[in-house]
């Protein structure tokens, strides 16, 4: 119990500490200014990982992931999906803003694509890039595969895996890892089964790992759902997947 509390305290402060090594990169989507973050190894020719943050925008969990990925030898770039002046301040505004991009998936895919270009401009080797995403960002990771963005693989971490069933299932060439908490009430059995059908119809290379005793935001130390044991396992699974496809 004490060890879990100490681990939680460490991770809750680590994002702030690690953010000091992240550099702001400003870019545009038309007239909308976007402000992403890149790791301090930018400019080197290394494999790259694009991080798609949760529904409130760039947060400590994304920053901590970026710092760890840098230690693993990757250039990490945290995407700004919403843009300057549009960052949600509470759950209601986050749900509304994230909901817009979930519905207008083409706009979401475009913002992800723009962030990918920034990752490449900052040194990532173009054929050695992956995307990971948390929560709303996990949805974006799957949308990246559906949109055929040029990445080797995607990881959806407690993302919303449902898709409008009016959209056809298409061929998916991107490797996919879905990290799904067993007690995530936002994922219905229909969502789960439809995703499997979508992956199989698309002849995808896919894997779903389900984590026991875990609710929706089980990887976030600031969440009441945080499960340090399963969070560590999920991160190790992420690193194993990235090593396989990028190194």
How confident is the model over 133-163, as pLDDT tens digits? 999 999 999 999 999 999 999 999 999 999 9
Q: How far is CA 28 from CA 37, 81, 105, 195, in A?
A: 14, 11, 19, 33
Rounded CA gap, 60 and 74, in Å?
A: 18
Rounded CA gap, 75 and 78, in Å?
A: 10
Helix (H) or strand (E) holding 100: helix 91-103
Q: What pLDDT is recorded for position 204?
A: 98
The pLDDT mean for the chain works out to 93
Residues 6+ apart with CB under 8 A from 9: none
pLDDT: which is higher, 192 or 5 = 192
Asked if 76 contacts 66 with a C-beta cutoff of 8 angstroms, the reply is yes
Q: Tell me phi and psi for residue 178, to 5 degrees.
A: -110, 120
User: Given a cut of 60, is residue 16 above it in pLDDT?
Assistant: no
pLDDT in tens, 35-59: 999 999 999 999 999 999 999 999 9
Rounded CA gap, 164 and 150, in Å?
A: 23
Rounded CA gap, 244 and 53, in Å?
A: 23
Residues 6+ apart with CB under 8 A from 26: 33, 34, 35, 36
Q: What pLDDT is recorded for position 4?
A: 47
Q: Token pair 């301090």 is at which residue?
A: 40
DSSP SS3 for 75: strand
Q: How far is CA 174 from CA 46, 133, 192, 241, in A?
A: 20, 15, 19, 13
pTM for the whole thing?
A: 0.93
Asked if 207 contacts 196 with a C-beta cutoff of 8 angstroms, the reply is no
């Amino acid at each position: 119990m004490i060890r879990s509390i100490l681990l939680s305290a460490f991770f809750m402060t680590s994002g702030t500490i690690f953010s000091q090594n992240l550099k702001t990169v400003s870019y545009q989507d038309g007239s909308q200014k976007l402000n992403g973050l890149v790791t301090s190894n930018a400019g080197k020719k290394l494999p790259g990982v694009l991080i798609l943050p949760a529904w409130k925008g760039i947060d400590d969990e994304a920053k901590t992931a970026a710092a760890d990925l840098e230690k693993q030898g990757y250039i990490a770039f945290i995407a700004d999906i919403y843009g300057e002046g549009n960052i949600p301040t509470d759950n209601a505004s986050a749900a509304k803003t994230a909901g817009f991009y979930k519905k207008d998936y083409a706009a979401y895919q475009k913002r992800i694509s723009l962030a990918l270009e920034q990752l490449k401009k900052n040194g990532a080797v173009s054929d050695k890039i992956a995307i990971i995403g948390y929560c709303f960002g996990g949805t974006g990771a799957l949308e990246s595969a559906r949109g055929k963005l040029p990445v080797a693989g995607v990881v959806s971490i407690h993302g919303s895996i449902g898709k409008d069933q009016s959209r056809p299932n298409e061929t998916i060439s991107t490797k996919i890892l879905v990290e799904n908490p067993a007690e995530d009430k936002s994922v219905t059995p229909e969502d789960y089964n439809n995703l499997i059908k979508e992956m199989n119809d698309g002849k995808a290379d896919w894997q779903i790992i389900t984590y026991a005793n875990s609710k929706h935001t089980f990887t976030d130390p600031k969440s009441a759902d945080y499960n340090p044991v399963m969070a560590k396992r999920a991160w190790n699974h992420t690193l194993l997947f990235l090593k396989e496809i990028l190194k």
